Chain A
């Protein structure tokens, strides 16, 4: 624990103290200017990393937010005479508001559409900055003076310290955010947006909030940028800058504060690097060397695809050879960025910091902080007395896909405290029915009632919030999160500290409580020893059990298990049966979709059989097994399909 504190926090403290002390020794104004820019770009890149790294989306709007923030500060100071801090606050607010406005439509879709929307936003904001001449001065640019700070003029070192302090604050706030439920949600929604919704953690709202937060940091950096240069032009914030920013984040290393810091220093140093021929040759040669080392290693170990080993070597080779052929490297600036960026994206997807961090962790092996004692299961999942009343009711439920009647007029009742089996041959509509109940699909017609009240339709998130929790037939775990984090993410009512306090780091005690509770649920499914293991590294059976523990963390009134025994080895099936029995004992109502008839017979109080989207039988497992229609549906009947001799 102490070692962890010294290494991780110590490195940060030392870095910031050293950076802070530099102006006392060095009075070179050029170097100071570079350091100031480093701090500003550091803030900007930490913001960009939220979307590019944590949300996993290509964001092409951060340069625009820098520009908008810069102009906001500039206009506040020149037109309204704001002070330095109020102007910065306005910059941040502009970033936050416009970020949220852009995110609302843009984040509804993944991938290229999002990138395109941010690209359009950038182009649009450049147009506005250029054309709204009354406010921004248009292409002429906007000059401003750095406002005084409580009557004192802010000199260069003073401004540098301000930027550095803000970087440190942003750094800490970001770290606090990422180690809270928010950080978990960001990771989770990249792995499985569907499961994130189904666990009552809104995918969309977290994405929007994350993007808006990143944009507000862009706005803040913009305000500082304005006070640093004291002259703004719309052309400074175009696509070119955006590509350089992406270069910074990717090259430095995504999902890493140090990576953003490293990327920022790189961006600051790039112009110098290109203007000095010798320096450029050295960097290009080092790049080629790195590509060769990484490439050969992965080629030998056959770990990566060959293209991944060879392509960066070719790209860096082009850089070295091109460096000899070209007269002026500055003219080829963009091509040089492109080749470097290409090599990193292909060959070192974790960036340079990720590469370094892997070796450092092997070298120092810092143990994760110890886990707290598990809570008692009774406090996490209090036993409920079941009254046997109707909990869930489907009324004439229909769901059609075009002409396919996947669920066709299904009505059924699930009683509180019961294990209700839902069985039927493949393609009979069980999964669709469950998907409608849990809100993945809106019903075509009919109602789903919980406690006699209509369940929200067509929203996994809202249904999860209403007290229905589910597992998935095709596992939807958050593979990059540990087993513990998978459960912690879903924990209901565990996180009450509001966002501003989370940013200040005041959510630690809540985190520890959540850890204890999650451990209790892991104990229930027998996974407490694997709490720190990444979900993707668990065995298949353990993954199935983890899904159940995660669904239970919602403390659901109704738990839907979608084929939990599918693909399980025989010993695991008996463990599963034991787990489901103990859940039932606590009074949680369960809908069980299953093919294993022995599991169904052993666990279920009532069984509903569907075929072709309709209910063909209902009753106790024994009754259903003897039902002729059920036998026909599963096995076929000889006289209907006579065998051809």
Chain B
């Protein structure tokens, strides 16, 4: 019986972990091109979820809401890039950390006042009646999360490998200056990466909302773990975030079962600090060489 409970906790934790991985993947997209990440990414997830909920409440069908929500995410990503990132990258400063935090704060406050402070349910056409697989309860909604995560990551990876624009993306990631000399605009590529990252955030919001409900505070719970996943895995390994995402998801699920839900966030946070101490570039990250 006990092992069954553990397995149950592990499976639902792993599915949550996939969402952390998806958000962390959004960090990787922008980090690859610009060496910057959006500290307000959690608020982007939350805003996109609220926006999608509003679309549904306005009577949009579920399948039309998804592209609408994703488009909103893209636009927000572009706004972040223009308002918070581009200037500081030009100045070669790390002001973007502060500016994206500020953006998140603004988004949080706006959401609080526009949509209210309460958590709201997010309807989904997919059933949330549990299926029993080998004695473990899994709901179709949870399965849809896994499918959605892999679908988005797969599509973006394919885009990066198979299209010309995607190759430009990879070129800027590999060597920004060389890419610019070859006529690829780094600015546009960074815009693209922020747009994609915003889209990924929106997707994460749409996927997770039916399970967790939508509320202004959903961001802070998600974002810390996504940060942990991104840092522990390394900011340049798409495969790594999935593995570490699942690991952290399982760990926190087990922690909250054994130690109480207040401790839920500790494994991710501890792993993050540990990873920085032992492997600063992440478990799956590349070691960089200092040059003078």
Are A and B co-members of a single complex?
yes
- List the interface of chain A (C-beta within 8 A of B): 56-58, 102, 104-106, 108-113, 115-117, 119-121, 123-124, 127, 130-131, 194, 239, 243, 246, 250, 305, 307-308, 311, 326, 331-339, 341-342, 345-346, 349, 401, 435, 440-441, 472-474, 476
Contacts of A131 in B (CB 8 A): 260, 262-263
Q: For residues 219 through 237 of chain B, which have their beta carbon under 8 Å from a beta carbon of chain A?
A: 220, 224, 227-228, 231
Are A342 and B276 closer than 8 Å at their CB atoms? Answer: no
Closest to A132 in B: B262
Distance (Å) between the CB of B113 and the closest chain A CB? 6
| B109, A243: Cβ atoms closer than 8 Å | no
- In the assembled complex, the CB of B287 is this many whole angstroms from the nearest CB of chain A, namely 11
* Contact in complex: B290, A109 (CB < 8 Å): no
Stretch at the interface among B89-97, B136-144, B162-170, B206-214: B89-97
Let me know if B277 and A105 touch, CB within 8 A: yes
CB interface residues, B 10-51, toward A, < 8 Å? 31, 35-37, 39
Within 8 A of A (CB), among B105-120: 105-106, 108-110, 112-113
The B contact surface, by secondary structure, is helix
Interface status of B194 (Cβ within 8 A of chain A): no
Taking a contact as CB atoms under 8 Å apart, the answer to whether B106 and A106 are in contact is: no
Shortest beta-carbon distance from B217 to chain A in Å: 11
Inter-chain pairs besides A57-B94, A109-B280, A332-B109, 10 sampled, C-beta below 8 Å: A106-B276, A120-B227, A127-B266, A239-B220, A250-B98, A311-B87, A335-B110, A341-B98, A401-B289, A474-B292
| Interface residue? B174 (CB, 8 A) | no
Q: B109 and A117: CB pair below 8 A?
A: no
List 19 A–B pairs whose Cβ atoms lie within 8 Å, in order of A's numbering.
A105-B274, A108-B276, A117-B272, A117-B273, A120-B224, A123-B224, A124-B270, A124-B273, A127-B262, A127-B265, A243-B102, A250-B98, A332-B113, A335-B105, A338-B109, A342-B102, A346-B87, A441-B289, A476-B292
Q: Does B86 contact A (CB under 8 A)?
A: yes
* Cβ–Cβ < 8 Å partners of A106 in chain B: 273, 276
Q: Is B103 an interface residue (CB 8 A)?
A: yes
Q: In the bound complex, how far is the Cα of B93 from the Cα of A57, in angstroms?
A: 10
Which of B35, B97, B265 is within 8 Å of A115, CB to CB? B97
Q: Cβ of A331 and Cβ of B113 under 8 Å apart?
A: yes
A336 to B109, CA, bound (A): 9
Residues of A within 8 A of B37 (CB): 112
CB contacts (< 8 Å) of A435 on chain B: these are: 292
Name the residue of chain B whose CB is nearest to the CB of A102: B273
Known: A337-B105, A342-B102. A194 touches B224 (CB 8 A): no
Residue B7, interface by CB 8 Å: no
B247-274 vs A, CB cutoff 8 Å, 1 = contact: the mask equals: 0000000000000101101101110111
Is B99 positioned at the interface, with any CB of A under 8 Å from its CB? yes
Q: Which residues of A contact B75 (CB under 8 A)?
A: none
Bound-state Cα–Cα, A194 to B110, Å: 43
| Chain B hits for A339, CB < 8 A | 106
Shortest Cβ distance from A318 into B: residue: B106
Give the residues in chain B near A246, CB-CB below 8 Å.
Answer: 98, 101
Instruction: Determine if B83 is an interface residue (Cβ-Cβ < 8 Å).
Output: yes
B87 touches A305 (CB 8 A): yes
The minimal Cβ–Cβ distance linking B276 to chain A, given in whole angstroms, is 5
Given A104-B277, A401-B289, verify A341-B97 contact (CB < 8 Å): no
Q: Give the docked Cα–Cα distance between A121 and B270 (Å).
A: 8
A641-B283 Cα distance, complex, nearest whole Å: 47
Contact B106 A334 (CB under 8 A): yes
- Nearest residue, chain A, Cβ from B96: A112
- Residues on B with beta carbons closer than 8 Å to the beta carbon of A124: 265-266, 269-270, 273
CB neighbours (8 Å) of B268 from chain A are: 120
When distances are taken between beta carbons in the complex, the residues of chain B under 8 Å from A311 are 83, 87
Inter-chain contact A338/B113, CB cutoff 8 Å: no
CA–CA, A326 and B263, complex, Å? 38
Bound-state CA distance A109–B282 (Å) is 11
Chain A binding surface SS class: helix
Give chain B residues whose Cβ lies under 8 Å from the Cβ of A473.
292
Shortest CB distance B45–A (Å):
16
Nearest-Cβ distance from residue A261 to partner chain B, whole angstroms:
21
A124 to B227, CA, bound (A): 14
Q: Is the CB of A130 within 8 A of B262?
A: yes
Say whether, besides A115-B39, A124-B270, A334 and B292 are in contact (CB < 8 Å). Answer: no
Bound-complex Cα distance A311 to B99 (A): 12
Q: 6 tightest CB-CB pairs across the interface, nearest first?
A: A105-B277, A335-B109, A334-B109, A338-B106, A120-B269, A338-B105
On whether A112 and B292 interact (CB within 8 A), knowing A117-B272, A124-B269, A332-B109, the answer reads no
In the assembled complex, the Cα of A476 lies from the Cα of B109 at a distance in Å of 44
Chain A nearest CB: distance from B141 CB in Å?
28
B269 near A123: Cβ-Cβ < 8 Å: yes
Residues of B within 8 A of A305 (CB): 87, 90
Chain A residue nearest in CB terms to B94: A111
Taking a contact as CB atoms under 8 Å apart, the answer to whether A338 and B102 are in contact is yes
Chain B residues positioned under 8 Å from A239 (CB to CB): 220
A472 touches B292 (CB 8 A): yes
Chain A residues with CB under 8 Å of B109's CB are 332-336, 338
Q: Which of A338, A342, A345, A440 contacts B290 (CB 8 A)?
A: A440
The complex places the Cα of A388 from the Cα of B289 at a distance, in Å, of 36
Most chain-B CB neighbours within 10 Å: which of A119, A243, A308, A338?
A338
A123 to B273, CA, bound (A): 12
Give the residues in chain A near B270, CB-CB below 8 Å.
124
- With A and B bound together, what is the CA distance between A117 and B101 in angstroms? 15
Also in contact, A334 and B105, with CB within 8 A (given A117-B272, A246-B98): yes
Question: What is the distance, in angstroms, from B281's C-beta to the closest C-beta of chain A?
Answer: 8
Given A105-B273, A123-B269, A440-B290, A346–B99 Cβ distance below 8 Å?
yes
* B272–A308 touching, CB < 8 Å: no
> A307, B86: Cβ atoms under 8 Å?
yes
Q: Which residue of B lies closest to A240 (CB)?
A: B105
Given the complex of chains A and B, what is the CA–CA distance between A110 and B93 in angstroms? Answer: 12
Contact present for B292 and A194 (CB under 8 Å): yes
- A334-B108, A345-B99 given; A123·B262 CB < 8 A: no
A349 CB contact (under 8 Å) in B95, B108, B274: B95
Chain A neighbourhood of B113, CB < 8 A? 326, 331-332, 335
For residue B55, give the distance in angstroms from its CB to the closest CB of chain A: 23
Min distance, Cβ A559 to any Cβ of chain B, angstroms = 17
Inter-chain contacts of B272 with A (CB < 8 A): 116-117, 120
Question: In the complex, what residues of A have CB within 8 A of residue B260's CB?
Answer: 131
CB distance A123 to B276 under 8 Å?
A: no
CA of A194 to CA of B263, assembled, Å = 40
Map CB proximity to A onto B182-197 as digits: 1 under 8 Å, 0 otherwise.
0000000000000000
Kindly state the separation between the CA atoms of A592 and B37 in the bound complex, as whole angstroms.
42
* Contact A121:B273 (CB < 8 A) given known A115-B97, A335-B106: yes
Cα–Cα, bound, A346→B36 (Å):
17
How many angstroms between the C-alpha atoms of A512 and B265 in the bound complex? Answer: 52
Given contacts A250-B98, A345-B99, contact A120 B273 (CB under 8 A): yes
Q: Judging by beta carbons under 8 Å apart, are A194 and B290 in contact?
A: yes
Q: How far is the CA of A123 from the CA of B266 in the complex (A)?
A: 8
CB distance from A554 to the nearest CB of B (A): 17
A440–B289 alpha-carbon span in the complex (Å): 10
* Complex CA distance for A58 and B36, rounded to whole angstroms: 13
Cα distance, A104 to B220, chains bound together (Å): 26
Q: How near does chain A come to B61, taking the closest CB pair, in angstroms?
A: 33
Residue from A56, A105, A243 in contact with B105 in the complex, judged by beta carbons closer than 8 Å:
A243
